[in-house]
Structure 1
Amino acid sequence: MPKPRPNTNARVPRKMHVYCEGRKTEPNYLQSYINNKSDSRLRTVIRIEDSNKNTPVQLVEEAIRDKNSGNNPTGDAYWVVYDRESTHKYSDDLHEKAYSLAIQNNVNIALSNVCFEYWLLLHFISTNAPYASFDDLITQSVLKTHVRKNTGKGYEKGSREIFRIVRENIGDARTRALAINAQTLSTAPAGVTRPYKLNPYTGIPLLLDAIDSFPG
């Protein structure tokens, strides 16, 4: 009796590819978030890609290259995660180029203005204070105070302890972020809607929502 032929039309599971500007802080948080989900499938279909790119344009271009490489199934989702940073470091023109490229190529952006640490701060308090840079936020906000209270140490970028001390407050952070994003947008000058022009703002809740509903 002949052996049954393999099903060559078997559906390849969709995957989500996430490219982060930070080498440790964002990947550690996001991977821990995925690992803590009850749906274990997410650990195999969501990939925090090992990227060495660290500017908005480079990250978006990397996602586009991978999307168009033919190495991944059609229908995979692509996200880039990066910070607005100070206007001295990254110009509006650079951010506009990255944003436009992403829209044109159906790549999703989770931008934090001014930095990812603003999202972390929202796990502890609700604040619509704008910050000019990472250093400004660390110096002027209460983030380091809350981290020290929970760990006995100061805030360290890339620390694997961060997710442990904030995970119980993720729901609060999401609620606060959505309210503050809406408030920032409502008070922005007419026609100003790009996230990199909205301070404060964080798109991390959008990414977490996408993770929660993937694969859908």
Structure 2
Amino acid sequence: MGSDDLFKKRKARASNALARQQQQRAQSPRCLIVCEGSKTEPHYLAELREVRGIPHSWVNIKPSEGSSPDRVVQTAEKLYAEDAQMGDSFDQVFCVFDRDAHPTFSAALQRARELAAGGKPFNAITSTPCFEFWFLLHFGYSDAPFAKAGNKSVGDVVVSQFKTKAGLAQYGKAQRGLAALLQGKLATAAKHANKLRQSAAKTLKQDPQIHANPWTNVDELVQYIEGLKHCPTYQGD
């Protein structure tokens, strides 16, 4: 066989491989998650991805370049723009941050909404007071507001309640294994989170996502990740 024929066959194989990759990408979702926290949120979401067998390339979890809500959205904007320049934009972008006592919370939420209104796939996933409230909803419904107590911050108060649950007395921000531990209660937590949002929407004249205490829509992100198993190219459990 001549060198020209060999070259043509290699070129054809490479072209076919590229075509297969492009077809697979067209059928596979790809999202970006930027987290305010460096441990609790990314650990939980990464473990949820593993529990469901979702490819890493489908769910990209990145830390924020700064711990305030505005930096979360700024980081997400930067990463989204960089990805778009490569010619393959993320299908969805999730900015995960807490209400807590952050002065930039409202501005960050508004910015995420502006990006979404402008046609970019941005979603603000927020929790009041903190991400651990989502964990609490796995054990029961509550709309009782949280507040500082003595030397405990409002976030510490939520964590203290979570640590009263069976098997979680030693809970810490760096704890792993929560996604698997709470998996059986996931539907319950999602139901409670949705009920809480509906209640807040009925009773608050002001923006519930800003003013409700407590609040979370983490279930929307969790259900998005869970829903990826229905993608045609999914090969998990």
Against the structure 1 CA distance between its residues 209 and 73, is the aligned structure 2 distance closer, same or farther, given a 3 Å change threshold? same
> After superposition, where does 1:1-216 map in structure 2 within 5 Å?
1=5, 2-3=8-9, 4=12, 6-7=15-16, 10-11=22-23, 12=25, 13-37=28-52, 40-69=53-82, 70-71=85-86, 73-86=88-101, 89-90=102-103, 93-103=106-116, 104=118, 105-132=120-147, 135-136=153-154, 138-139=156-157, 142-146=161-165, 149-153=166-170, 155-189=171-205, 192-214=206-228
Letter in 2 for 1:55: S
5+ residue gaps in structure 1?
none
State the number of aligned residues.
207
Aligned-residue offset at 1:197: 2.0
Amino acid paired to 1:201: W
Distance 2:92 2:105 in 1: 26
Q: Which amino acid aligns with 1:165?
A: L
CA distance 1:179–1:59, change in 2 (3 Å): same
Q: 1:35 to 1:129 in 2, by over 3 A?
A: same
Q: Give the match for residue 235 of structure 2.
A: none
Structure-2 change in CA distance of 1:207 and 1:74 (3 Å): same
The change in CA–CA distance for 1:54 and 1:98 in structure 2 (over 3 A counts) is farther
Write the letter of the residue equivalent to 2:161. Answer: V
Structure 2 SS opposite 1:207: helix
CA distance, structure 2, for counterparts of residue 197 and residue 82 of structure 1: 15
What are the ranges of 5 or more consecutive residues in structure 2 without an aligned counterpart? Answer: 233-237
- Take 1:209 and 1:116, find their aligned partners in 2: how far apart are those partners? 16
Distance 1:59 1:102, change over 3 A: farther
Give the whole-Å Cα distance in 1 for the aligned partners of 2:60 and 2:39.
14
Once superposed, what is the RMSD of the aligned Cα atoms? 2.6
Q: CA deviation at 1:22?
A: 0.5
Return 16-25 or 192-201, whichever deviates more: 192-201
- TM-score, structure 2 as length reference: 0.76
**How far, CA to CA, are the matches of 1:78 and 1:90 in structure 2?**
23
| Divergent runs of 4+, >4 A | none
Please identify, of 128-137 and 198-207, the stretch whose mean Cα deviation from structure 2 is larger.
Answer: 128-137
Q: Which amino acid aligns with 2:196?
A: I
More helix by share: 2
Distance (Å, rounded) in 2 between the aligned partners of 1:44 and 1:113: 30
Larger radius of gyration: 2
Change (3 A) 1:47 1:132: same
CA contact (8 A) 2:99 2:127 kept: yes
What is the one-letter code of the residue matched to 1:74? Answer: S
Letter in 1 for 2:179: F
Instruction: Write the deviation string for residues 13-69 of structure 1: whole angstroms up to 9, x where unpaired.
Output: 4411100001010011111111111xx344331111243331111111111122222
